Amino acid sequence: MKQSDYVKELKKQGFLNQVQKDRFSLRLRVAGGRVKAEALKKVYELAERYGAGYVHMTSRQSIEIPFIKLQDIDAVKRELTEAGLEPGAGGARVRTITACQGNAVCRSGLIDTADIADEFNLRYYARELPHKFKLGITGCRNNCLKAEENDLGVKGGMKPLWNEEGCSFCGLCMNICPAKAIKVSKKDRLLNFNEGNCLYCGRCVKACPVNAWEGKPGFIIYFGGLFGNRIAIGRRLLPIIFAKKELHKIVEVTLKFFGDHAKKGERFRNTLDRVGWELFDDTLKEALK
């Protein structure tokens, strides 16, 4: 095998060629930014034994161990396997799944981002495609993981449901609503909710002191984001969805569309701009009938 072909193959396996000759930076497989403490002990050992004594935290929540020698790669692979760790995927594949901490930890979280990240990791990670493809999950409208910058980004949302009988008409929900979708008259004991203006941020649900608002958590999806050589904000083409089964169907349809229509080396956003967003929109709606 040619040296250049060997380097390309190593990149697919998570070993990225450095500017220093015969040195590689090992990218580890991480889902949603979570790494078990026991695994971190092994990462420390590998960095000390085979690297330069430090690790690099990547922009997409992965861990890299730089300065691994070419002749040590097989030994590193063996120790990774023994410790239950895996190298990350590079090249034209689905990359590291990113996620914030979600509602299991964060007070603002509306969805279980860690659970979704694990499912995405098992189903889609390292899938071969015409170019790299990034999936990111953010738990709420605070958008810490910047859903719109991913090829496909998922943002947690919450559909508010108002219970008139339990309402005190205090007006707190009206005051906290960023979209001004709620109007309250305490004097007349009236509340008007304009769902057409709702951002599904869930703030009314979380703020209500008498639990007059209930919330149905769901997923808001963005397509075609880019944040590299070209910057483009992803577009929302679908209404909020609530079933994970439907979410996975959307991801599958998107990846298939990319595989069917993209040129080799073309990012998803560029494919959409070239073949037409209408075609992709029609494909999504047909699949969701």
**What architecture does CATH give domain 159-215?**
2-Layer Sandwich (3.30)
Fold identical between 10-82 and 159-215? yes
pTM comes to 0.94
Contacts by 6-13, CB closer than 8 A, 24 or more apart: 8/91, 10/73, 11/90, 11/91, 12/89, 12/90, 12/91, 12/93, 13/77, 13/87, 13/90
Domain 10-82 in CATH 3.30.70.3340? The answer is yes
Contact criterion met (CB below 8 Å) for 191 and 182: yes
Class of domain 98-158+217-287: alpha beta
CA separation for the pair 139, 98 (Å, rounded):
11
* Of 35, 93, 22, the residue nearest 62 (C-alpha): 35
Q: Which two tokens stand for residue 86?
A: 């895996």
Give 230-272 as a DSSP string: SEE--B--S--B--HHHHHHHHHHHHHHHHHHPPTT--HHHHH
pLDDT digits (tens, 9 = 90+) for 77-118: 999 999 999 999 888 999 999 999 999 999 999 999 999 999
What pLDDT shows up at residue 12? 86
* Of 109, 115, 178, 118, the residue nearest 138 (C-alpha): 109
Identity of the amino acid at 47: A
Write down the domain spans for the chain: 10-82, 98-158+217-287, 159-215
**Distance, first Cα to last Cα, the chain:** 49
- Could you say which residues of the chain have pLDDT below 70? 1
CA separation for the pair 51, 103 (Å, rounded):
36
What pLDDT shows up at residue 1? 62
- DSSP-based three-state secondary structure for 274: helix
**Torsion angle of C-alpha atoms 121, 124, 127, 130, degrees rounded to 10:** -120
Identity of the amino acid at 221: I
